[in-house]
Every structure is written in structure tokens, then in C-alpha cells.
Amino acid sequence: MDPLQEANGTFALNLLKILGEDSSKNVFLSPMSISSALAMVFMGAKGTTASQMAQALALDKCSGNGGG
């Protein structure tokens, strides 16, 4: 599997786990839209912010992630 596909899948599942913790509410989201928007922000991030975003987006294991 492509590393970026794997990162997007990991991010989507992690996000769903967090948002789905309250079982009394339904969750409806588009993980691709969220990861795409955050990836654009990530491209402008530097230093600690870029590192933290890479980790949250599961991009820290992808080579050439473009941060900072």
C-alpha cells in the first residue's frame, strides 16, 4: 500500500475513534476532506507545529512529507 494511503487511513480511523467516544451521538464526517484541508495547512507549518501535525496526520512515517 502507498505510504500516503496508509497515512490517510490511519488518520481517518484515529479521528473516528476520538469523535466516536460519545456513543450517545452519531458521527458523520469526511476524513478525506479533513485530511486534505489539514495537509494544506501542514505544508506551511514549520518546526514543532509541523512535527505535531505530521504525527497527528500519520505523515511522520512518510518520506518527503514537505513539512517546514
31-41 tens-digit pLDDT: 999 999 999 99
Residue 25 counted as domain residue: yes
Number of domains observed in the structure of the chain: 1
Residue 64 counted as domain residue: no
Residues 6 or more apart in contact with residue 53 via CB below 8 angstroms: 38, 41, 42, 45, 59, 67
Residue 61 counted as domain residue: no
Is the separation of the CB atoms in 3 and 58 below 8 Å?
no
4-56 tens-digit pLDDT: 899 999 999 999 999 999 989 898 999 999 999 999 999 999 999 999 999 99
Nearest to 62 by CA among 14, 16, 9, 15: 9
